[in-house]
């Protein structure tokens, strides 16, 4: 066990840090959260900067046009971006983290050539059409139907939790091509151009008031058979293959952000006097212990990926523990804000306390609620852990491993 | 960066696990339940021969010269097997008290003036009937006391049947054997090694509960197939794994102090490991249902041991608060409790 970084890893970090400090001051102002075209332009501009500097697809294999970095370099990359407060992966998180890797692993040479470079350059944005109103935790029960008609599929149905659908060019779409009851054996993976006639987008408003999600209604939408990735009815496996790209780094930025948020909470408590309460000091200390342990678990998972080339089951442990800690952190910061938390506006505190950072803390509290639901609820994660790691008897309904959806109320990288 | 066991470390842990299975099988240990003396001298010397006590002692001082990372792996195995005795105290005392390093002398330890323990009389002291030397750890240093000199009363109903306890009305000053530096260092390393024992316990109770849940049938199926039970087991596994990572990271941070703050890492590890051992012990009893409440099923032994260890080298409140204070001012240094309060 060695927590020190090698010279090569330190050099990678130093070079990246230098590039970030040179580049970040030149970024345009951040658009408002509801300005979706503005957010697309901002995020894809950032992606282009990464591309030009050779940092696009740091986690993608060289064969797919990526940098082919080691899992440890990927960890360093995400740490440094978060430390420098660089933009997040943003509106194209599906393209960069899920659809792209799927096309690398399972696409034809033509599909790879057509779709991968625009993702890396920031030219094209993807969204995800996996979950349905009637198929959430039980994704294999999905009903959106694709009927073959010559060299096209004709698709009718609906999808939900499609993040950034309004600004997306393509959708990675799971459809039923097999019989109605074929479950995971009758699903295909298609590339849906979002401007195809018959695609209707209806935004969903979250409890945080944000509108990054949409429902997708598909009415006799035609998609060329050439847009199918993998064989017909093999889409479940195609989706699962993407899991092998996960190297334990999905939450690195979030974790650092949480540590920073906790420090702000401590500073706030010191200003308001809440810090005089030993209970508050203990809660803060306890949260820090949990976040540090999660950092250690991340390093364990990254090391396993580096040593074996495949992700272990550590991600399930991580997600269960992290999402719970993050929820507790949200409750903690909200209670420290007191009545200043009744609005998500930064307000001038009374008694010379200065501006209280309500916006970050209230938003984070609300976002924290999505974490134990998104990308597999904690209850489903416990089933997976109990059955696949501990070897306990299966639930009748869990027939196979659920794909790692990056959709849901918030993907692993946030939204 | 490579935060996974080396081949050597894996072999070391495996070797200790095999030794425990052979020499410290639970059925053998249970013969000593509620006895005045629980430490088997022959077994203690075998622990010494296996390097349990002199593992971190420099080679020129007759030790093995390994780091706290290796010691934590060894102690996790000892904790998993519920090996009784003042393991951490004797490990810390190696090099300071003659005979501690090879297991020929059994050394115990009691903390005074530590937050939470106070100087209140009477003091509760573990293992007195087995000890050759009792060390008294305080902020000013470490002093050695002859256990024979103490006017101690053995308590007949110890919480952990394999941890005998005495009531000591008054401690003599003893002979100083170390200063405040050693005291601070012992508090930190003692916290890590005690936490490692707790991780072993938390992992063992998880295994015990999972095995039971696979084989116990009710309503025509194994109870582990019910989510209510499965999710208890899943949470146990998560707690144990997270605590294990925290403890191993803390141990590595003590060995490689440039990667973090060893004191804070030690405090966080002990905090989470105590919780994992206690909560998993309790859950293990729950999964066993009515049988879990019987003396026969060993779940209670782990649960009670976890409670004992949680009172040593920092209680949960003290550790959490020391971490909180460290968060507010990281320059206060050692978060395991020797200062900053």
Q: Which residues pair with A175 in a beta bridge?
A: A188
**Tokens found for residue A20:** 């970030």
pLDDT attached to residue A397 = 55
pTM of the model: 0.94
Residues A293 and A360 in one domain: yes
A33 exposure class (CB count in 10 Å sphere: 0-12, 13-18, 19+): middle
B268 in contact with A at a CB cutoff of 8 Å?
Answer: yes
pLDDT exceeds cutoff 80 at A243: no
Which residue out of A73, A246, A257, A290 is catalytically annotated? Answer: A246
Domain edge (last residue) among A205, A233, A261? A233
- Hey, are the CB atoms on A72 and B1 less than 8 Å from each other? yes
Element holding B126 (H helix, E strand): strand B123-126
B144 touches B177 (CB < 8 A)? yes
CA torsion A277-A278-A284-A285 (nearest 10°) is: 160
**Chain A residues close to B271, C-beta within 8 Å:** 285-286, 289
| Banded pLDDT at B116 (limits 50, 70, 90) | very low
With tokens 């690398």, the residue in question is A104
ipTM: 0.94
Sign for the pseudo-dihedral over CA of A70, A74, A75, A81: positive
If you average pLDDT over every residue of chain A, what do you get? Answer: 91
Q: Which residue has the tokens 């309500």?
A: A358
- Which residue is listed with tokens 């951040």? A30
Residue A407 lies in a domain: no
Task: Quote the crossing angle between the two packed helices A71-83 and A7-23, to the nearest 10°.
Answer: 30
Q: Give the DSSP H/E element, type plus range, for residue A159.
A: strand A152-159
Backbone φ and ψ of B3, nearest 5°: -100, 65
Give the residue extent of every domain in chain B: 7-181, 189-332
Q: Which residues between 63 and 92 in chain A have a beta carbon less than 8 angstroms from any beta carbon of chain B?
A: 72, 75
> Does residue A10 sit at the B interface (CB-CB below 8 Å)?
no
Residue B126's nearest CA partner among B302, B301, B298, B309 is B309
User: Do the Cβ atoms of B288 and B299 come closer than 8 Å?
Assistant: yes
Nearest CA in chain B to A392: B224
How many residues are given for chain A? Answer: 415
More confident residue, A395 or A333: A333
Helix H or strand E encompassing B143: strand B141-145
A351 and A261 together in one domain: yes
Helices (H), A168-277: 235-241, 252-272
Contact: B265, A292; criterion CB under 8 Å: yes
Residue A154 forms part of a structural domain: yes
CATH second-level architecture of B189-332? Up-down Bundle (1.20)
Is A394 domain-assigned? Answer: no
Q: Give the Cα-Cα-Cα angle A344, A345, A351 (nearest 5 degrees).
A: 115
What CATH fold (topology level) applies to the domain B7-181?
A: Butyryl-Coa Dehydrogenase, subunit A; domain 1 (1.10.540)
Q: Using a pLDDT cut of 70, give the percent of chain A over it.
A: 94
Judgement on whether residues A108 and A153 belong to the same structural domain of the protein: no
Q: Which of A206-220, A306-320, A339-353, B84-98 is predicted least confidently?
A: A339-353
Is the pLDDT at A312 greater than 90, yes or no?
Answer: no
Query: Domain for residue A390, yes or no?
Result: no
Does the CB of B7 have a partner CB in chain A at under 8 Å?
A: no
Do A225 and A288 fall into the same domain? no
pLDDT at A2 over 70: yes
- A99: preceding bond cis by omega (within 30 degrees): no
- A307:B4 CB<8 A: yes
Query: B271 and chain A: CB distance < 8 Å anywhere?
Result: yes
Summarize the confidence of residues B159-185 as an average pLDDT: 94
Question: Do B324 and A293 make contact, defined as CB atoms within 8 angstroms?
Answer: no
User: What's the pLDDT score for residue A411?
Assistant: 37
Distance CA A26, CA A107 (A): 37
Region B118-142 average pLDDT: 88
- Any idea of the CA torsion for B56, B58, B63, B65, to the nearest 10 degrees? 60
The reply to whether residue A392 touches residue B213, judged by beta carbons under 8 angstroms, is yes
Whether chain B has a CB inside 8 Å of the CB on A9: the answer is yes
pLDDT tops 90 at residue A36: yes
- A172 catalytically annotated: no
Question: Does B232 lie at the interface with A, CB-CB under 8 angstroms?
Answer: no
| Residues A254 and A359 reside in one and the same domain | yes
The C-alpha atoms of residue B195 and residue B69 are separated, in whole angstroms, by 12
Pick from B1, B229, B231: which is nearest to A9 by CB?
B1
Closest CA to A164 of A98, A104, A230, A229: A98
A391-395 CB contacts, 8 Å cutoff, 24+ apart: A391/B210, A391/B214, A392/B210, A392/B213, A392/B214, A392/B222, A392/B224, A392/B225, A392/B229, A392/B230, A392/B233, A393/B214, A393/B221, A393/B222, A393/B224, A393/B225, A394/B225, A395/B225, A395/B227, A395/B230
**Residue A402's pLDDT band (boundaries 50, 70, 90)?**
low
| B115 pLDDT above the threshold of 80 | no
Per the structure, the complete domain to which residue A273 belongs is given by: 246-372
Interface contacts A/B by beta carbons within 8 Å: 185
Same domain (yes/no): A203, A261: no
* Domain end marker among A106, A121, A136: A121
Which residues numbered 192-211 in A keep a CB inside 8 Å of some CB on B? none
Question: Are A110 and A64 in the same domain?
Answer: yes
Structure-token pair, residue A311: 């992700």
pLDDT band (50, 70, 90) for residue A170 = very high
Q: Do B210 and A289 touch (CB under 8 A)?
A: no
Split at pLDDT 50, 70, 90, the class of B220 is very high
φ, ψ (nearest 5 deg) of residue B137: -100, 120
Of A121, A150, A170, the residue that ends a domain is: A121
Is residue A283 included in any domain, yes or no? yes
My answer on whether A141 and A188 are in the same domain is yes
Same domain (yes/no): A316, A253: yes
Whole-angstrom distance, CA of residue B113 vs CA of residue B119: 6
Alpha helices per DSSP H over chain B: 7-23, 26-30, 41-49, 68-80, 87-93, 180-215, 227-255, 262-287, 289-292, 299-309, 316-328
Using the predicted structure, report yes or no on whether residue A327 has a pLDDT greater than 60: yes
Q: What is the mean pLDDT of chain B?
A: 94
Instruction: Tell me, yes or no, whether A133 and A115 share the same domain.
Output: no
Q: Is B216 on the interface with A (CB under 8 A)?
A: no
Question: What is the predicted pLDDT for the residue at A413?
Answer: 33
Specify whether A101 is located in the same domain as A203: no
Confidence check: pLDDT of A408 > 50: no
> The sheet that has B141-145: what strands, in order across it?
B107-111, B133-138, B141-145, B175-178
Would you say the C-alpha torsion B41, B46, B49, B54 has a positive or negative sign?
negative
CB of B339 less than 8 A from some CB of A: no
Residue B228's pLDDT band (cuts 50, 70, 90)? very high
Instruction: Judge whether residue B340 has pLDDT over 50.
Output: no
A175 and A289 belong to one structural domain: no
Those residues with Cβ within 8 angstroms of residue B219's Cβ, 6 or more apart along the chain or in another chain: none
Instruction: Give the pLDDT band of residue B120 (cuts 50, 70, 90).
Output: low
Question: A99: which 2 tokens?
Answer: 């659809």
On whether residue A410 sits in a domain, the answer given is no
Q: What is the DSSP string of A240-254?
A: HHGGGG--S-TTHHH
Nearest to B203 by CA among B266, B85, B283: B283
Residue A85 lies in a domain: yes
């Amino acid at each position: 066990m060695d927590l020190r970084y090698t010279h090569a890893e330190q050099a990678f970090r130093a070079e990246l840090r230098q590039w970030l400090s040179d580049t970040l001051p030149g970024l345009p102002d951040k658009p408002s959260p509801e300005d979706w075209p503005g957010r697309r332009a901002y995020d894809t501009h950032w992606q282009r900067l990464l591309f030009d500097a050779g940092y696009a697809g740091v986690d993608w294999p060289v064969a797919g046009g990526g940098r082919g970095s080691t899992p440890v370099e990927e960890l360093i990359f995400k740490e440094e971006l978060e430390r420098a407060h660089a933009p997040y992966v943003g509106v194209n998180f599906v393209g960069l983290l899920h659809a792209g890797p799927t096309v690398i692993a399972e696409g034809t040479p033509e599909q790879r050539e057509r779709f991968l470079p625009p993702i890396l350059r920031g030219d094209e944005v993807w969204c995800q059409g996996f979950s349905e109103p009637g198929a959430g935790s039980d994704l294999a029960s999905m009903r959106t139907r694709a009927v073959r008609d010559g060299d096209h599929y004709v698709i009718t149905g609906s999808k939900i939790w499609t993040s950034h659908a309004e600004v997306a060019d393509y959708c990675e779409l799971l459809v039923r091509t097999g019989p109605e009851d074929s479950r995971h054996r009758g699903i295909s993976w298609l590339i849906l151009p979002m401007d195809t006639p018959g695609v209707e987008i209806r935004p969903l408003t979250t409890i945080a008031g944000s509108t990054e999600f949409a429902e997708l209604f598909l009415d006799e939408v035609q998609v060329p058979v050439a847009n199918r990735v993998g064989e017909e009815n093999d889409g479940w496996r195609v989706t699962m293959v993407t899991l092998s790209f996960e190297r334990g780094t999905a939450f690195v930025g979030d974790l650092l952000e949480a540590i920073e948020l906790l420090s702000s909470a401590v500073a706030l408590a010191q200003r308001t006097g809440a810090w005089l309460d030993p209970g508050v000091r203990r809660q803060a200390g306890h949260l820090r212990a949990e976040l540090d342990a999660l950092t250690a678990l991340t390093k364990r998972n990254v090391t396993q990926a580096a040593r074996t080339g495949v992700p272990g089951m550590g991600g399930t442990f991580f997600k269960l523990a992290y999402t719970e800690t993050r929820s507790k952190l949200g409750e903690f910061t909200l209670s420290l804000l007191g009545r200043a938390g009744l609005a998500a506006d930064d307000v001038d505190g009374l008694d010379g306390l200065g501006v209280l950072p309500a916006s970050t803390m209230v938003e984070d509290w609300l976002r924290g609620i999505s974490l134990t639901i998104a990308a597999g609820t904690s209850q489903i994660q416990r089933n997976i852990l109990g059955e696949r790691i501990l070897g306990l008897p299966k639930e009748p309904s869990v027939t196979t491993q659920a794909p790692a959806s990056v959709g849901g109320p918030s993907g692993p990288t946030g939204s | 960066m490579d935060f996974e066991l080396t081949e050597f470390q894996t072999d070391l842990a495996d070797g200790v696990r095999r030794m425990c299975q052979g020499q410290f099988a639970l059925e053998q240990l249970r013969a000593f339940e509620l006895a005045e003396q629980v430490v088997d001298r022959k077994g203690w010397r075998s622990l010494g021969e296996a390097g349990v006590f002199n593992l971190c002692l420099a080679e020129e001082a007759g030790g093995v010269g390994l780091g706290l990372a290796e010691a934590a792996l060894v102690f996790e195995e000892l904790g998993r097997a519920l090996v009784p005795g003042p393991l951490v105290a004797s490990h810390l005392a190696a090099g300071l008290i003659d005979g501690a390093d090879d297991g020929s002398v059994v050394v115990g330890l009691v903390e005074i003036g530590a937050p939470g323990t106070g100087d209140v009389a009477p003091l509760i002291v573990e293992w007195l009937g087995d000890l050759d030397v009792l060390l008294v750890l305080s902020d000013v240093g470490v002093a050695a006391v002859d256990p024979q000199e103490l006017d101690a009363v053995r308590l007949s109903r110890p919480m952990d049947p394999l941890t005998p306890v005495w009531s000591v009305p008054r401690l003599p000053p003893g002979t100083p054997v170390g200063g405040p530096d050693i005291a601070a260092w012992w508090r930190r390393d003692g916290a890590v090694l005690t936490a490692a024992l707790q991780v072993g316990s938390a992992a063992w109770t998880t295994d015990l509960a999972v095995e039971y849940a696979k084989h116990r049938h009710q309503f025509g199926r194994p109870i582990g197939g019910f989510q209510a039970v499965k999710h208890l087991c899943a949470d146990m596994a998560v707690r144990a794994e997270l605590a294990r990572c925290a403890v191993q990271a803390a141990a590595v941070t003590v060995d490689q102090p440039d990667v973090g703050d060893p004191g804070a890492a030690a405090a966080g590890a002990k905090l989470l490991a105590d919780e994992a051992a206690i909560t998993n012990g309790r859950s293990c009893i729950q999964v066993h249902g009515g049988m879990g409440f019987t003396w026969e099923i060993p779940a209670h032994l782990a649960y009670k041991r976890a409670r004992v260890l949680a009172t040593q080298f920092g209680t949960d409140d003290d550790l959490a608060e020391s971490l909180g204070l460290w968060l507010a001012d990281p320059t206060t240094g050692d978060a395991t409790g020797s200062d900053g309060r």
